[in-house]
């Protein structure tokens, strides 16, 4: 395999933060190259340098052995480099075809040549092995298919280098499987693929080589076959990572959350959501499992007061059925939302201000605020420029840690956590799991919604499975296994993606 793009000596500073420090990365045609590292290690920065959206302070880029300079993503695209953004950049109301060709429409005598565009997109879809309907509006598509549109956009522009920054964070297990099959196919045809991920089993499954970054520097680049998840975790963090497991017997107390006869009407293509009864007691972790898109998000919104629903919700013996989020919080609820950028934090404010929200009433000395923030950052290993830095300057995983630190520090009797370890590194997962177990041990209750079965199996005292808006099965801790949960999630009549939109028959 030959070098397709080579980065040499890339260095990038953001103020006091050295995000990339003399980084070398060689991408070969036909390889899937995984890039791993702790939150803030510099992965996304390096990808932005490769894609021309961040200008390095030092270092060179060579494409096919020829030195190049990227002043913008346009230059990178012209050099055959495509990027699949984690937050998709698609027009919801446009069709698949129109999204794919947007900005690169073929024209004949100055007029957009729709027929030839349609043909090329259809051919690409087939070549990619996709089931996409080229005329479908993007807003009707599940995440996995939207991501395919992003990938097709790059391929349509003749990309033979594809950058994917945490592409599976938003995918169901089935969608992830499909993505990896497609990536291997593209690699076989000579495309160079860079895959940034925190999931080491994905690295093992799909990549040929892996580069480990630590605090901006390359620790190693090795053939995947020559390493193990444990060895990678060690290279990333400099220590051994042990997984935290819920092995203390439960001693549940009074109910901290009771949901009864909750109903959310169907909306658009989403099925109605129904929960006859769900209870979380003090001193236990109750999990909700299900393929994303089966109603977990809406159910949690209804529980925390962000979405109207009929039925009743009681937090800590207070009837909050008609209460807004603030009153539910006052009743004793903390909440770690999935969308921490939009719901969980104020990106333009400082980390210190974000950590203080909901915590203090009245006026506080700035120095006390800063101390509180510095203390929480230190204890939660939030890596960034300091308490006064803007929330938006933090890497994805570090932003997640800030929201979690704030919510855990409330010591509320009930914590509602939605995918709390999404996008955080292996060390942070271990830490967050220990914190959740400590929360339970301290006599608080946790409602844990997670796309990661392994997380539920490690932590939950009981797991309810949500499929097509209905709770179809429940398992006690002793019964939990990936096999059982997986079966309940798929056998209820709904599979991944669109099938999940139809409610299952019976339960
Ligand atoms: N625009 C920016 N302004 C200031 N600091 C930044 C900016 N972008 C990144 N940084 C800092 O650079 C470092 C590397 O960030 P980067 O986003 O590359 O990390 P990452 O490895 O992708 O982390 P994650 O796994 O959390 O996504 C972090 O300390 C981050 O706070
Ligand atoms: Mg990143």
pLDDT confidence of residue 226: 98
**Helices 229-237 + 426-441 axis angle, to 10:** 90
Q: What CATH topology corresponds to 255-501? A: Rossmann fold (3.40.50)
Ligand 1 mutation pick, 7, 12, 15, 17, max ligand atoms within 8 A of CB: 17
Q: Which ligand is nearest to the CA of 423?
A: 1
pLDDT confidence of residue 495: 38
At residue 360, does pLDDT exceed 60? Answer: no
Q: Where are the domains of the chain?
A: 3-237, 255-501
Q: What is the mean pLDDT of residues 464-492?
A: 90
Ligand 1 atom closest to the Cα of residue 166 is 27
Q: What is the mean pLDDT of residues 445-452?
A: 94
340 pLDDT band, cuts 50/70/90, is: low
At residue 187, does pLDDT exceed 80? Answer: yes
- Are 32 and 183 in contact by the 8 Å Cβ rule? The answer is yes
292 pLDDT band, cuts 50/70/90, is: confident
pLDDT confidence of residue 455: 94
- Are 463 and 446 in contact by the 8 Å Cβ rule? The answer is no
Compare 80 and 348 and report the one with higher pLDDT: 80
The model's pLDDT over 393-406, given as tens digits with 9 standing for 90+, comes to 888 788 888 888 88
CATH code 3.40.50.300 for 3-237: yes
Compare 319 and 112 and report the one with higher pLDDT: 319
- Are 448 and 303 in contact by the 8 Å Cβ rule? The answer is no
pLDDT confidence of residue 384: 80
Q: What is the mean pLDDT of residues 354-365?
A: 68
Ligand 1 mutation pick, 165, 393, 431, max ligand atoms within 8 A of CB: 393
pLDDT confidence of residue 359: 61
Average pLDDT along the chain: 89
366 pLDDT band, cuts 50/70/90, is: confident
Q: What is the mean pLDDT of residues 453-465?
A: 95
- Are 366 and 350 in contact by the 8 Å Cβ rule? The answer is no
Cα(36)–Cα(33) distance, integer angstroms: 10
Q: What is the mean pLDDT of residues 334-355?
A: 81
pLDDT confidence of residue 269: 77
* Token pair listed for 23: 């980084």
At residue 363, does pLDDT exceed 80? Answer: no
410 pLDDT band, cuts 50/70/90, is: confident
DSSP per-residue letters across 113-180: -HHHHHHHHHHHHHHHT----TTSBGGGS-HHHHHHHHHHHHHHTT-SEEEEESGGGG--HHHHHHHH
pLDDT confidence of residue 341: 64
DSSP per-residue letters across 25-85: EEEETT-EEEEEESTTSSHHHHHHHHTTSS--SEEEEEETTEEE--SSHHHHHHTTEEEE-
289 pLDDT band, cuts 50/70/90, is: very high
Percent over 70 (pLDDT), the chain: 94
> In angstroms, what is the C-alpha Rg of the chain?
24
- H or E segment to which residue 312 belongs: strand 310-315
Compare 361 and 192 and report the one with higher pLDDT: 192
At residue 293, does pLDDT exceed 90? Answer: no
The model's pLDDT over 1-45, given as tens digits with 9 standing for 90+, comes to 789 999 999 999 999 899 999 999 999 999 999 999 999 999 999
Cα(257)–Cα(300) distance, integer angstroms: 12
pLDDT confidence of residue 362: 59
Compare 431 and 464 and report the one with higher pLDDT: 464
- Are 216 and 41 in contact by the 8 Å Cβ rule? The answer is yes
494 pLDDT band, cuts 50/70/90, is: very low
CA angle, residues 341, 32, 396, in degrees to nearest 5 = 15
Return the residue whose CA atom lies nearest to atom 10 of ligand 1.
393
DSSP per-residue letters across 344-362: I--TTSBHHHHHHTTT--S
Compare 226 and 268 and report the one with higher pLDDT: 226
Return the residue whose CA atom lies nearest to atom 16 of ligand 1.
42
Average the pLDDT over each of 2-6, 371-375, 459-463 and give the range with the smallest value.
371-375
Which burial class, exposed, middle or buried, applies to 490 when counting CB atoms under 10 A from its CB (0-12, 13-18, 19+)?
middle
Return the residue whose CA atom lies nearest to atom 7 of ligand 1.
393
447 pLDDT band, cuts 50/70/90, is: very high
Percent over 90 (pLDDT), the chain: 63
Q: Which residues have CB under 6 Å of ligand 1?
A: 14, 17, 19, 37, 39-45, 383-384, 393-398
Cα(408)–Cα(417) distance, integer angstroms: 10
The model's pLDDT over 132-149, given as tens digits with 9 standing for 90+, comes to 999 999 998 888 899 999
Q: Do 3-237 and 255-501 show the same overall fold?
A: yes
Ligand 1 mutation pick, 12, 14, 212, max ligand atoms within 8 A of CB: 14
């Amino acid at each position: 395999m030959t070098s397709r793009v080579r980065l040499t000596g890339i260095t990038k500073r953001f103020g006091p933060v050295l995000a990339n420090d003399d980084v070398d990365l060689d991408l070969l045609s036909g390889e899937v190259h995984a890039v791993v590292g702790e939150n803030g290690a510099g992965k996304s920065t390096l990808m932005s340098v490769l894609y021309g959206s961040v200008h390095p302070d030092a270092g060179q880029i060579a494409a096919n052995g020829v030195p190049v300079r990227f002043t913008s993503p346009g230059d990178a695209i012209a050099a055959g480099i495509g990027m699949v953004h984690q937050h998709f950049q698609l027009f919801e109301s446009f069709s698949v075809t129109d999204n794919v060709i947007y900005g690169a429409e073929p024209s004949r005598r100055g007029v957009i040549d729709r027929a030839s565009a349609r043909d090329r997109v259809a051919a690409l879809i087939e070549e990619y092995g996709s089931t996409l309907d080229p005329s479908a509006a993007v807003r009707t598509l599940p995440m996995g298919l939207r991501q395919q549109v992003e990938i097709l956009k790059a391929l349509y522009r003749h990309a033979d280098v594809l950058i994917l920054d945490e592409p599976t964070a938003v995918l169901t297990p089935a969608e992830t499987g499909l993505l990896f099959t497609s990536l291997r196919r593209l690699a076989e045809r000579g495309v160079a693929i860079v895959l940034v991920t925190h999931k080491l089993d994905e690295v093992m499954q799909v990549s040929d080589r892996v580069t480990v970054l630590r605090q901006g520097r390359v620790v190693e680049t090795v053939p995947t076959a020559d390493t193990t998840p444990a060895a990678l975790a060690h290279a990333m963090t400099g220590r051994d990572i042990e997984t935290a497991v819920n092995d203390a017997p439960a001693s549940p107390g009074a109910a901290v959350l009771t949901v009864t006869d909750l109903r959310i009407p169907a909306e658009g293509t989403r099925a109605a959501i129904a929960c006859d009864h769900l209870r979380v007691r003090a001193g236990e972790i109750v999990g909700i499992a299900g393929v994303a898109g089966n109603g977990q998000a809406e159910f949690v919104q209804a529980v925390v007061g962000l979405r109207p629903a009929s039925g009743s919700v009681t937090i800590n013996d207070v009837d909050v059925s008609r209460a807004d989020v603030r009153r539910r919080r006052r009743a004793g609820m903390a909440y770690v939302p999935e969308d921490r950028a939009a719901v969980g934090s104020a990106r333009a404010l400082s980390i210190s201000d974000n950590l203080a929200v909901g915590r203090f009433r009245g006026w506080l000395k700035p120095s006390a605020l800063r101390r509180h923030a510095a203390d929480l950052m230190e204890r939660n290993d939030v890596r960034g420029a300091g308490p006064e830095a803007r929330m938006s300057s933090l890497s994805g995983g570090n932003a997640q840690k800030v929201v979690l630190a704030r919510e855990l520090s409330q010591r509320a009797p009930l914590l509602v956590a939605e995918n709390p370890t999404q996008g955080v590194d292996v060390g942070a997962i271990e830490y967050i799991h220990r914190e959740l177990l400590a929360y339970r041990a301290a006599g608080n209750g946790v409602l844990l919604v997670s796309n990661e079965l392994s997380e539920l199996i490690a932590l939950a005292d009981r797991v309810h499975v949500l499929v097509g808006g209905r709770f179809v099965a429940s398992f006690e801790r002793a019964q939990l296994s990936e096999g059982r949960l997986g079966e309940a999630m798929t056998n209820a009549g709904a599979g991944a993606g669109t099938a999940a939109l139809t409610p299952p028959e019976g339960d």
